[in-house]
Amino acid sequence: MNMSVTQFVQAPAIVTGSRSLWHEIIDTVIEEPRRTAADEIAEYLARHQHDLSPTLRIELERRHVCV
């Protein structure tokens, strides 16, 4: 019975858990920066600024919350 060497040799990989180190590095590089609650609020206010009352919109602009 002839068996090839590749059946016995496992490809070398640095593994953290079930993922290779290269997967972790690539995922970290590609991943977008984490969003904060302040980012979410600013985006919401920017999208819905016309739905707000004029008084509230003026106050938010005064506080530099939405532009």
Residue 42 above 70 pLDDT? yes
- The answer to whether residue 62 is domain-embedded is yes
At residue 16, the 3 state secondary structure works out as strand
What is the tally of structural domains in the chain?
1
Q: Which residue has the tokens 């040799």?
A: 9
What range does the domain containing 54 cover? Answer: 35-66
- The answer to whether residue 46 is domain-embedded is yes
- The answer to whether residue 10 is domain-embedded is no
- The answer to whether residue 14 is domain-embedded is no
Identify the band that residue 12 occupies on the pLDDT scale cut at 50, 70 and 90.
Answer: low
- The answer to whether residue 51 is domain-embedded is yes
User: How far lies 21's CA from each of 9, 10, 12, 18, 28, in Å?
Assistant: 20, 16, 11, 10, 11
pLDDT, position 10 = 54
Of 52, 51, 45, whose CA–CA distance to 67 is shortest? 45
The share of the chain scoring above pLDDT 70, in percent, equals: 72
- The answer to whether residue 26 is domain-embedded is no
pLDDT, average across residues 12-35:
75
